[in-house]
Amino acid sequence: MALLAGLVRQNHQVTLVSRLKPGALAPAGVSFISHAIPARFSLNCIKLIRKLAANFDIVHCFSARALTNTIIALHYFNPALKNKAPKIIAYRGTVGHLARFDPSAMFSFLHPRVAAISCVSNAVKKYLTQQGVASSKLHTIYKGHEPAWYQRKEAGEFDLRTSLGMHDTTCPLICFVGNMRAVKGADLLIEAFSQLNHARAHLVLVGAVRDSAVRNAIERSARAFNIHLLGPRADAPEIVRGCTVSVMPSRSREGLPKAVIEAMLLRKPVIISDAGGMPEMLTDGESGLIFQAGNREQLTENLRAVVDDAALQSKLGDAAFERAKKQFSVMQMIAKTQEMYAQVCTA
């Protein structure tokens, strides 16, 4: 939403096709067409894109479904457009799940008519290069966030410890936010937390559990009583605000996780693995702590280093905030998107 509204402020004409409600986009000047994209091949979606095509220079696809339908709509069985079709731009937010000899990939990110791909990190850009995409098509554009989004908007103070029924108001809280698939490494964090063997520390897990190893690790843990599964939460940033340290222990495939950016802008010390694009987000020992993906012992040592050290928490949290404010600004996201648009339109 911030990107689209920002493009309108820069005098671009923007129309959003989405099943989502327009929200604040209409007052910002973004036109809106309500339309769901139910599958990679949707005849109704293809017809809509063909109908709209003559009005636009660029179709910017933010999902794989949108991308495949757009490619088919503009470049197959459509003699009316010939060489006058809008330029197609894709968005790629993860490492993995592409192969240059996979037919489905040839109808998405590897299709020759994709003019450019917005990569959420340099790691994603490198991965696509390895799959055979020309580097000239690839643009690293970090997600933009505003610090103001994470300021308290209500007068009342949300107290996480009280909401969890804790009597110790100063106990360290270690937090993870994300859907708990195997690749996210939540089970590794549970094992590292158990190795920490800290009598007062608690582990707070926010998100859907989609990996049986998570519950198995909790059952095996001697600290199971201090582990809290909160499930999916709309107030995840408020939960992170109430925690001592935020951890993203992913094993692989990370592009640039939103949960880490949010924690940084909440001035929380962050511990991350070196999976995917995450090492681009901070400097080890200065604005956060980084451990080798899958290395439980390193993760435990990082937890041990920060969990009771208030000075280190403050140092890492403040540095993370300053880093995120500069590196992940909305203005840089808009500017780099405009640069990408200019390149494809003049090619």
Task: Bin 110: left if φ > 0, else alpha if -120 < ψ < 50, else beta.
Answer: alpha
**pLDDT tens digit string along 174-213?**
999 999 999 999 999 999 999 998 999 999 999 999 999 9
Least confidently predicted of 117-126, 149-158, 163-172:
149-158
For residue 100, name the pLDDT band (cuts at 50, 70, 90).
confident
pLDDT at 173: 98
Q: 0.95 cut: is pTM over it?
A: no
pLDDT at 56: 95
Contact (CB, 8 A) for 266 and 235: no
Dihedral sign for Cα atoms in the order 198, 178, 149, 6: positive
pLDDT at 48: 96
With a cut of 80, say whether residue 82 has pLDDT above it.
no
Count other C-beta atoms under 10 Å from residue 84's C-beta: 9
Mind listing the pLDDT tens digit for each residue in 14-31? Answer: 999 999 887 778 888 999
- Tokens 């910002």 sit on residue: 28
Query: Is pLDDT of 103 > 60?
Result: yes
109-150 pLDDT, tens digit per residue, is 999 999 999 999 999 999 999 999 999 999 999 999 999 999
Least Cα distance to 256 among 341, 322, 193, 327 occurs for 327
Q: Is the pLDDT confidence value at 155 over 60?
A: no
The whole-chain average pLDDT of the chain stands at 94
Packing angle, helices 212-220 and 186-196, rounded to 10: 10
Residue range 288-299: average pLDDT? 98
Nearest 10 degrees: Cα torsion 295, 298, 300, 303: -130
Q: Flag the least confident range among 10-14, 153-157, 248-252, 304-308.
A: 153-157
Domains of the chain, earliest start first: 2-144+329-346 (3.40.50.2000), 148-327 (3.40.50.2000)
